[in-house]
Amino acid sequence: MAADQRKPPESPAYGFRSEHEHRLPATIAILLAILIYTLLPKRLILGPRYLLPALELIILIALTASNPMKITRESKNIRVLSLALIGLVNLANASNLALLSYTLVAGGSTSGRSLIYAAVAIWVTNVMVFGLWFWELDRGGPFARCSNLRRNPDFLFPQMTSPGTTIGKWVPTFMDYLYVSFTNALAFSPTDTMPLTPMAKFLMLVQSMVSVITVILVGARAVNILH
């Protein structure tokens, strides 16, 4: 048998399951991110308040129509729409952070209390959006992970190195990626899950940088001027 035709060795890192993943947790995260964006002060929103949320909702409806409950099929168009949706949410949050930082530097009249609320909202959205990035990109996305495609993982979860802790083959779900995103944003570094590929390392680097700016610079400044 030719070398390029050999079957990859069995490993928990290549685990897959026949049952497809539910879309609901990721959908809830996107809806929460949209809601948070619409509740931010006008000075922290770039352009019309409801422009980006409307685009995000249109894409979300299209994706939900293609896979209403579970992600049972995928095409190039669905994949592009999924990445575009996460990119829009990320763009909205990045613009919020940029405008909030500008407000601090410009020394506007915004109160410390409202700055704290905005910083918390941006940080929470940062956690959700990078959880979505990890979920959508690791091993080709949620559909590919539930198929026997045997793509190399981008993240090394503890269950992959300790297969005895799970029953049968194990595949991460959205909540696993959300946890990775939360711990990375809080600790500014990986905790129990390690990035393996340049893409995974770059995403975690960017998320940590955004978290540092939000928590240390914006948060600390808001506390100092809080009355």
* Residue 194 φ then ψ, to 5°: -105, 135
Q: Does residue 5 carry a pLDDT above 50? A: no
Tokens in use for 200?
A: 């995974």
* Mean pLDDT, all residues of the chain: 82
Residue scoring higher pLDDT (110 or 162): 162
Tokens in use for 54?
A: 């409307």
Tokens in use for 71?
A: 């992600």
In angstroms, the first-to-last Cα distance of the chain is 74
Q: What distance in Å separates the CA atoms of residue 87 and residue 164, rounded to the nearest whole number?
A: 37
Tell me what pLDDT residue 49 has.
Answer: 87
- Identify whether the C-beta of residue 172 lies closer than 8 Å to the C-beta of residue 145: yes
Tell me what pLDDT residue 14 has.
Answer: 52
Tell me what pLDDT residue 7 has.
Answer: 43
Strand, coil or helix: 195: strand
- Identify whether the C-beta of residue 25 lies closer than 8 Å to the C-beta of residue 174: yes
The lowest-confidence range among 47-61, 103-117, 156-170, 192-206 is 103-117
Tell me what pLDDT residue 17 has.
Answer: 57
Q: Which residues pair with 195 in a beta bridge?
A: 155
102-118, pLDDT tens digit by residue?
887 776 556 667 777 88
Tell me what pLDDT residue 36 has.
Answer: 92
What's the pLDDT band for 158 if we cut at 50, 70, 90?
A: confident
- Identify whether the C-beta of residue 153 lies closer than 8 Å to the C-beta of residue 194: no
